[in-house]
Amino acid sequence: MTLKDLEPQLLALSDDEKAQVVQLLSQGKIIQGRGIEKTPGVCGGSACIANTRIPVWVLVDARRLGITESQLLDDYPTLSAVDLVNAWNYAEAFPDEIETAIQENNEELSEAL
């Protein structure tokens, strides 16, 4: 079976099923892509999707709030599914860093209100 044969079936999947396919394909594989980078002075030095100002913690927090991967890809048109996989892998590797960034943001929002 080729990708050309699979394409109609993949396109017929729901958004959640497509996200599951991306996760399944990424398991145990090195993901090629833009990766994650930290740049001093950009987004407070937070880990971001490379060449963007989209922090990993923002994506993780959005997912916790129930935003689907499909919605994230719609909301951030410069992101790819590989970028999301890279973000999830980074968050899994550095959970304390991501949790701290989310908490700091929530505290700043509370203070602003």
DSSP one-letter code for 36: E
For the chain, domains (ranges, CATH) are 34-112 (1.10.10.10)
Q: What is the pLDDT of residues 63-86, one digit of tens each?
A: 999 999 999 999 999 999 999 999
pLDDT at 3: 73
- What's the CA gap between 28 and 94, in Å, rounded? 18
Q: What pTM was estimated for this model as a whole?
A: 0.69
Question: pLDDT tier at 5 (50, 70, 90 boundaries)?
Answer: confident
For the segment 35-53, what is each residue's pLDDT rounded down to a tens digit? 899 988 999 999 999 999 9
Cβ atoms < 10 Å from Cβ of 42: 13
Q: How many other C-beta atoms lie within 10 A of the C-beta of residue 90?
A: 21
**In terms of residues, how long is the chain?**
113
